[in-house]
């Protein structure tokens, strides 16, 4: 689209100077200068202007100027005094546009003519200083809380230095139809602020101040919104204004990069809506399935034992690295002891199969997913890989029937045999709270996965927030789990992969015969199961014996069991019957309680 990109300094943590450096490094063209950031800075306006210039950043907007219109003449006198000082300041900063918010606190005149006249007078003063005013309807403005009314007032004001600022949050949070944006001449839209937000039901002020998200991380249809703004003929910057409690306290550069990724994604989405704009990214289809899952640790021997008990076949040792491959049906697990000194077994990498690995890799690169390098010899497959926000490595491989191309690199193992497990159903990743929203955007933008259900699950140590990103056909499902804070700070929240099978009871029985000890499930659970579902009592008893859990919804039912945890990893085997599309969420508290008890009983517990 060739629109400039900008971001408000309020989105980021740190000092104003740190924010400017981060915005430049992330590749933004400019910034909105949030007044409190300047007020709290020891740097003079001239220093800030010079720093921005050296960094190649334009200062696109000075914001916010509050409570400017709809006031009595006495109060307006004070407004003019305040505005004059700010216009002079803006001249020192070299900023040409000021954000004027609709009045929240001091408005006493609910009259478009009064507001328009005052904006016109303010416009005269602004014009004397070479400044333009972008008037914005706040969602909680005292009288003006709708962009259509703000535009009407600007129309009446009829001053070349007075236009509107559009903010997606203020418009979409109120459910206002953005289509009427196209009725505004593009050159009267002086600024565009973009923010996404999760679908929450709360007062709009709290929602706005604490929960805004970068585009693609929330529930707003920003592509359509931007389409209307471009349709109106707007040519100014796409600028992000995100008030978010997490971004305010996490690494400034990382957040700036996340912000930039969100705009790259959004530009691509807008291009996809047939605006005639060129796509920013190579188009990719969703991954068709999991290629492999990797467990990494200094000693993965216990994992090897467990995989054999689950019916996996040892397919050999990698010819150049201390890495072993286990497969069963379409499920491939790599146990990697390379460069893992002092490391407990952990879920380190996930490979996904895509139609065009080259296009996917390029898309990832353009979205600034950090690349992972692994040494590959001449005769070895060199898969592109990226690091997800939680540190998990994501590998891209060519979708193909049967084993993928890298499997022959493993030597000295057994041939595949009959399998009760058919593939990997889903992978559960523990996720730090600091980068959770970033992760959702990462998976949806880089891999074109879809953010699906979100759920709170009660553990003995607090609520676990679980959010699924998946492909539409269910070939790839990732559950991102945020541990309770009190637990999070002690570290250690296990991750797991779930294998799919058409007969979980058979897998469980065979595994038990091979010595597997499943995660013990309380008898009380089975009594509750019998009360809730009209299940055959013999089946319930067999499930109890094998540690198999059960769930049912309107579309089908679900059987699954868990292994014990080794290091920070455990396994699950699941069976989906009918159209069951969930993950056994009602059973998750039982699993978490059982793991809590096992953990408490382990040597080294309470680390």
Cα 505 to Cα 132, 499, 540, 541, 548: the distances in Å are: 71, 13, 11, 12, 7
Determine if 594 is a binding residue for a second copy (CB under 8 A). Answer: yes
What character string, x for contact with a second copy (CB under 8 A) and - otherwise, covers 498-527? ----------------------x-xxxx-x
Q: How far is the CB of 100 from a second copy (least distance, A)?
A: 15
Q: What is the DSSP letter of 404?
A: -
Q: Give the separation between CA 264 and CA 258, rounded to whole angstroms.
A: 10
Determine if 485 is a binding residue for a second copy (CB under 8 A). Answer: yes
Q: Is 447 helix (H, G, I), strand (E, B) or coil?
A: coil
Residues of span 437-456 touching a second copy by CB under 8 A: 456
Strands (DSSP E) contained in 310-392 are 313-318, 323-328, 331-336, 346-354, 384-387
Neighbour count for residue 262 (Cβ, 10 Å): 26
Instruction: Please choose, out of 247-255, 413-421, 550-558, 564-572, the segment that lies near a second copy by the rule CB under 8 A.
Output: 247-255
Cα 453 to Cα 230, 239, 532, 583, 585: the distances in Å are: 32, 29, 24, 10, 11
Determine if 231 is a binding residue for a second copy (CB under 8 A). Answer: no
Structure token pair of residue 62 = 């000075």
Determine if 142 is a binding residue for a second copy (CB under 8 A). Answer: no
Instruction: Please choose, out of 79-87, 157-165, 538-546, 570-578, the segment that lies near a second copy by the rule CB under 8 A.
Output: 79-87
Determine if 582 is a binding residue for a second copy (CB under 8 A). Answer: no
Structure token pair of residue 298 = 């200094």
Determine if 183 is a binding residue for a second copy (CB under 8 A). Answer: no
Instruction: Please choose, out of 53-61, 271-279, 345-353, 461-469, the segment that lies near a second copy by the rule CB under 8 A.
Output: 461-469
Determine if 460 is a binding residue for a second copy (CB under 8 A). Answer: yes
Residue closer to a second copy, measured from CB, 210 or 365:
210
Determine if 206 is a binding residue for a second copy (CB under 8 A). Answer: yes
Q: How far is the CB of 175 from a second copy (least distance, A)?
A: 16
The β-bridge relationship of strands 410-412 and 30-34 is unpaired
Q: How far is the CB of 363 from a second copy (least distance, A)?
A: 31
What character string, x for contact with a second copy (CB under 8 A) and - otherwise, covers 248-277? xxx---------------------------
Q: Taking the alpha carbons of 152, 153, 157, 161 in that order, is the dihedral positive or negative?
A: negative
Please list, residue by residue across 536-566, b when 16 or more beta carbons sit within 10 angstroms of its beta carbon and e when fewer do. eeeebeebbebbbbbbbeeeebbbbbbbbbb
Strands (DSSP E) contained in 366-448 are 384-387, 393-398, 410-412, 423-431
Q: Give the separation between CA 318 and CA 293, rounded to whole angstroms.
A: 15
Please list, residue by residue across 81-93, b when 16 or more beta carbons sit within 10 angstroms of its beta carbon and e when fewer do. eebeebbebbeeb
396, with CB counted inside 10 A (0-12, 13-18, 19+), is buried
Residue closer to a second copy, measured from CB, 47 or 411:
47
Determine if 545 is a binding residue for a second copy (CB under 8 A). Answer: no
Q: How far is the CB of 111 from a second copy (least distance, A)?
A: 24
Residue closer to a second copy, measured from CB, 378 or 531:
531
Residue closer to a second copy, measured from CB, 43 or 180:
43
What character string, x for contact with a second copy (CB under 8 A) and - otherwise, covers 6-45? -------xxx-------------------xx-xxxxxxxx
Please list, residue by residue across 400-420, b when 16 or more beta carbons sit within 10 angstroms of its beta carbon and e when fewer do. eeebbebbebbeeeeeeeebb
Determine if 202 is a binding residue for a second copy (CB under 8 A). Answer: yes
Determine if 463 is a binding residue for a second copy (CB under 8 A). Answer: yes
Q: How far is the CB of 599 from a second copy (least distance, A)?
A: 12
Q: What is the DSSP letter of 103?
A: P
Determine if 537 is a binding residue for a second copy (CB under 8 A). Answer: no
Determine if 78 is a binding residue for a second copy (CB under 8 A). Answer: yes
Please list, residue by residue across 179-196, b when 16 or more beta carbons sit within 10 angstroms of its beta carbon and e when fewer do. eebeebeeebbbbbbbbb
Q: How far is the CB of 99 from a second copy (least distance, A)?
A: 16
Per rule CB under 8 A, count of chain residues that contact a second copy: 61
Q: Give the separation between CA 417 and CA 450, rounded to whole angstroms.
A: 34
Structure token pair of residue 50 = 């010079």
Determine if 539 is a binding residue for a second copy (CB under 8 A). Answer: no
Alpha-carbon torsion angle 14, 20, 22, 28, nearest 10: 140
Determine if 544 is a binding residue for a second copy (CB under 8 A). Answer: no
Residue from 128, 187, 245, 536 touching a second copy (CB under 8 A): that is 245
Contacts with a second copy by CB under 8 A lie at 13-15, 35-36, 38-45, 78, 81-82, 85-86, 89, 200-203, 206, 209-210, 245, 248-250, 433-434, 456, 458, 460-463, 484-487, 489, 520, 522-525, 527-528, 530-532, 534, 589-590, 592-594, 596-597
């Amino acid at each position: 689209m060739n629109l400039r990109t900008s971001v408000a300094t309020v989105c980021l943590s740190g000092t104003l100077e740190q924010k400017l450096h981060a915005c430049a490094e992330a590749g933004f063209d400019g910034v909105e200068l949030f007044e409190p950031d300047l007020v709290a800075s020891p740097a003079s306006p001239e220093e800030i202007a010079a720093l921005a210039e050296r960094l190649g950043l334009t200062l696109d907007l000075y914001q916010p100027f509050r409570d400017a219109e709809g006031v009595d003449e006495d109060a307006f006198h004070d407004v003019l005094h305040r505005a004059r000082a700010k216009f002079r300041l803006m001249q020192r900063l070299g900023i040409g546009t000021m954000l004027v918010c609709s009045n929240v606190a001091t408005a006493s005149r609910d009259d478009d003519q009064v507001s328009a006249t005052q904006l016109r007078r303010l416009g005269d003063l602004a014009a004397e200083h070479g400044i333009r005013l972008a008037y914005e309807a706040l969602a909680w403005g005292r009288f003006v809380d709708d962009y259509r009314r703000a535009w009407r007032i600007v129309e009446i004001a009829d001053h070349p230095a007075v236009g509107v600022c559009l903010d997606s949050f203020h418009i979409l949070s109120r459910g206002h139809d953005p289509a009427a944006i196209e009725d505004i001449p593009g050159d009267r839209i002086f600024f565009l602020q973009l923010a996404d937000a999760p679908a929450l039901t709360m007062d709009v002020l709290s929602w706005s101040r604490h929960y805004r998200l970068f585009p693609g991380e929330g529930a707003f249809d920003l592509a359509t919104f931007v389409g209307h703004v471009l349709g109106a003929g707007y040519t100014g910057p796409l600028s992000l204004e995100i008030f978010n409690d997490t971004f305010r306290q996490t690494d400034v550069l990382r957040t700036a990069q996340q912000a930039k990724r969100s705009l790259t994604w959004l530009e691509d989405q807008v291009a996809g809506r047939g605006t005639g704009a060129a796509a920013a990214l190579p188009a990719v289809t969703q991954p068709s399935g999991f290629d492999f899952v990797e467990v990494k640790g200094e000693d993965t021997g216990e994992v090897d034992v467990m995989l054999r008990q689950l019916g996996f076949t040892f397919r050999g040792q990698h010819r150049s690295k201390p890495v072993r491959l286990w497969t069963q049906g379409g499920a491939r697990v790599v146990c990697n002891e390379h460069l893992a000194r002092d490391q407990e077994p952990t879920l380190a990498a996930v490979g996904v199969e895509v139609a065009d690995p080259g296009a996917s890799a390029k898309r990832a690169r353009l979205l600034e997913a950090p690349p992972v390098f692994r040494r590959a010899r001449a005769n070895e497959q060199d898969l592109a890989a990226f690091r997800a926000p939680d540190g998990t490595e994501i590998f891209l491989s060519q979708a193909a029937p049967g084993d993928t191309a890298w499997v022959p690199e493993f030597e000295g193992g057994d041939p595949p045999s009959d399998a009760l497990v058919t593939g990997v159903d889903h992978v559960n990743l523990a996720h730090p709270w600091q980068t959770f929203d970033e992760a959702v955007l990462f998976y949806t933008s880089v891999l074109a996965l879809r953010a699906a259900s979100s759920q709170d699950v009660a553990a003995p140590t607090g609520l676990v927030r679980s959010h699924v990103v998946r492909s539409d056909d269910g070939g790839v499902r990732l559950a991102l789990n945020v541990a309770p804070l009190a637990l999070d700070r002690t570290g250690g929240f296990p991750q797991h992969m779930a294998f799919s099978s058409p007969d979980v009871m058979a897998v469980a029985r065979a595994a038990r015969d091979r010595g597997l000890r499943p995660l013990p499930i309380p008898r009380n659970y089975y009594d509750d199961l019998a009360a809730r579902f009209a299940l055959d009592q013999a089946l319930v008893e067999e499930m109890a014996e094998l540690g198999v859990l059960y769930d049912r919804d309107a579309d089908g039912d679900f059987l699954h069991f868990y292994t014990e945890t080794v290091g920070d990893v455990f396994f699950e085997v699941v069976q989906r019957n009918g159209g069951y599309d969930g993950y056994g969420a009602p059973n998750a508290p039982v699993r978490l309680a059982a793991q809590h008890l096992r953990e408490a009983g382990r040597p080294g517990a309470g680390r």
